[in-house]
Structure 1
Amino acid sequence: MSSQPIAPLDLILADSLLSEEERAIRETVRTYLEAEVAPHISAWFEAGELPVHEVAAGLGQLGLLGMHLDGYGCAGMSAVSYGLACMELEAIDSGLRSLVSVQGSLAMFAIWKFGSEEHKQEWLPQLASGQAVGCFGLTEADFGSDPAGMRTFAKRDGSDWVLNGSKMWITNGTVADVAVVWANTQDGIRGFVVPTATAGFSANAVRHKLSLRASDTAELVLDNVRLSETA
């Protein structure tokens, strides 16, 4: 029988499977969040808002944004390390974890995996450092995250693409600098890298939520958003 004391939050002793580096990463994230975020999170939750750019800059300095990706300023950490970091973020507030996972696992990963080299060079270093914030436009009001029912459509106009439609429940939507937007085309579903300063792009905040209050949530509207053929 093991002589180790029983840990009430680790009954299966999963902690013993972690490396020293993984424990150190967890402790670093926990210490930072307790000092820099925990004192403010209740007020942010009550106000229904989060200073996303300020928080993202701090998390970027810590290397947490896109930390599971390699290159382009990303930390290149393991999936376990990323999971441990997300557990610490979630322990503070689910909205905070949502900021990080949407930035890293959705917006950044899509660009890292499927984007052009130009997209990667332009956006990934900014997103990894927290200098820029990204969002991921898949979900729609009538069909949720089911691409089969997606109504947002992109059509060709010469060499350009023109996007029309809307997205709903988009984390980081009102503060994002870039959006990865999914749309139907004549040739099937395609993703587009859309700088949010592009004419015709707008975002409307979703207010009075019962949960994820300390998370920026938005409706994205695309009204004849014109993009180059490389978008």
Structure 2
Amino acid sequence: MLDQFDITKRWPATKPDAIQLYSLPTPNGIKVSAMLEECGLAYEPHLVNIMEGDQFSPEFLSLNPNNKIPAIIDPDGPNGKPMGLFETGAILIYLAEKTGKFLPIDPVRRYQTLQWLMWQMGGVGPMFGQFGFFHAFAGKEIEDPRPVTRYKEETQRLLDVLNDHLVGKSFVMGDEYTIADIAIWPWVRVLMTHYDAYDLLELDDVPEVMRWYETCANRPASKVAVNVPARP
């Protein structure tokens, strides 16, 4: 079934009945591995080493023409047919609907969950990522202070939005852990782990975010997901 996907020529499946995950434990990669772990779905992780340009290989591009990790193939997709999928928001929604987990059934709560997922996709991911580029990676060589200042302030604004929302709530949707939480917490994590920006971003000033983050990050599935696939 999976041999119809060219990506399996470079990353062959040893468990063809399991969901095939092509990823690296970046914030976006962790989102999907955490969801797979939370749902208890059988999956087989394949390391796509973006530092070596694996994401630009013809095999990877055959599954995701946008050359970004992660991507999946579900051998038991809709109507029992295999399906490939990229974009983490789409993958999280798909897995939630496939399993009936982490996405409320009630229409109002469902759409409110999706609005926070879209908030992460459209705001947190791009803004936090740009902050990291200019603060911690190649962009830090740019002498003009405006880029890092711009993305630092936008990152702090988004953290303030989340902090205010989380007052009196265990999770983004209240007492229920959802794909909104799964989408957001890996991006808060990277501010500390890879960007080393706790003090610069004044994370002590968003205590609700930090409380919520610790709860999310200490879930058993989260602890596994941050190392899936194992880094080279």
Richer in helix (by share)? 2
TM-score normalised by L of structure 2: 0.28
- Which structure would you say has the larger RCO, counting Cα contacts within 8 Å and 6 or more residues apart? 2
Richer in strand (by share)? 1
Higher alpha-carbon Rg: 1
TM-score normalised by L of structure 1: 0.28
